[in-house]
């Protein structure tokens, strides 16, 4: 399994950028916290909102041959980055001191947009990491000042969580729950017409079988912004920006306020 991860890290924008950052440091001396603190930096370097995005990616790919040993080292060093959801250590961050409660959970499972095929509105959590708390507090889009309120939520044992640890897993999700387009009907083995470039998931259909979808750190590093073709079908995970879980319905047994952070 690690061999597949090596190749995926060396061909994914986020994976290559992380390896490049590690190469500028002494990787063997980096603690788990040091490694985790590198992750929120990736969107400052490789984001589609950069005017020179394609040029930056080509420059990273040109360094892939020099990053091979680090790509072999990383899956063993940070093996937990490919773990399934940690149900006891999920963090939700909000701008209001009001606790998240089921009665106020609002979902809109239509796609956020053609460039970001995740649900328009849902409940999102990340896995707690010391010193980082939640990567949402460190994204380029969240640089406004003011307090943030962090809550620990415990996921029920019965919650049905679909795991995404690779681009192949994302492809399987999209292919099993394909979003049909007007004038086109998917069969059991969907093949997109030539005019369509990417197969995205139908979140409403997926919600019949699953309560949440967890994208692990490893899945994010290897799958985001990577077009992946299998049997003539192209899929691409976009717009998640970090390890996180999207919840399609309330699936928590407890909520606990843990921190208020001023920006």
Query: pLDDT grade, residue 115 (50/70/90)?
Result: confident
DSSP designation for 90: E
Residue 212's nearest CA partner among 169, 256, 163 is 163
Mean per-residue pLDDT of the chain:
87
**Sign (positive or negative) of CA dihedral 26, 36, 224, 113:** negative
Over the stretch 216-237, which tens digit does the pLDDT of each residue have? Answer: 999 999 999 999 998 889 999 9
Residue-level pLDDT at 107? 93
Q: What is the dihedral of CA 130, 34, 61, 42, to 10 degrees?
A: 40
Q: Is the pLDDT of residue 191 over 60?
A: no
Tell me how far apart the alpha carbons of residues 212 and 179 are, in angstroms, rounded to a whole number: 18
Spatial contact of 26 and 77, defined as CB atoms under 8 Å apart: no
Write out the DSSP string of 69-85: HHHHHHHHHTGGGGPPP
Strands 161-164 and 212-215: parallel
**Percent of the chain residues past pLDDT 90, beyond the cut:** 66
Q: What are phi and psi of 225, to 5 degrees?
A: 65, 30
């Amino acid at each position: 399994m690690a061999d597949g991860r090596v190749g995926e890290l060396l061909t994914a924008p986020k994976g290559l950028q992380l390896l490049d950052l590690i190469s500028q440091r002494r990787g063997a001396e980096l603690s788990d916290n040091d490694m985790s603190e590198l992750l929120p930096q990736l969107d400052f370097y490789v984001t589609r909102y950069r005017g020179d995005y394609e040029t930056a990616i080509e420059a990273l790919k040109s360094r892939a041959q020099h990053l091979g040993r680090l790509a072999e080292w990383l899956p063993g060093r940070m093996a937990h980055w490919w773990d399934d959801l940690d149900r006891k250590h999920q963090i939700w961050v909000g701008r209001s001191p009001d606790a998240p409660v089921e009665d106020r959970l609002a979902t809109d499972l239509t796609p956020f947009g053609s460039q970001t095929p995740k649900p328009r509105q849902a409940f999102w959590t990340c896995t707690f990491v010391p010193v980082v708390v939640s990567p949402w507090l460190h994204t380029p889009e969240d640089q406004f000042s003011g307090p943030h309120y962090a809550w620990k939520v415990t996921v029920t044992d019965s919650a049905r969580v679909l795991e995404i640890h690779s681009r192949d897993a994302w492809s399987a999700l999209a292919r099993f729950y394909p979003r049909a387009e007007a004038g086109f009907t998917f069969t059991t083995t969907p093949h997109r017409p030539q005019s369509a470039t990417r197969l995205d998931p139908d979140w409403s259909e997926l919600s019949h079988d699953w309560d949440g979808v967890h994208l692990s750190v490893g899945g994010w590093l290897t799958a985001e912004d990577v077009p992946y073709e299998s049997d003539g079908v192209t899929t691409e995970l976009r717009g998640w920006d970090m390890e996180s879980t999207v919840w399609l319905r309330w699936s928590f047994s407890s909520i606990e306020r843990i921190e208020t952070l001023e920006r």
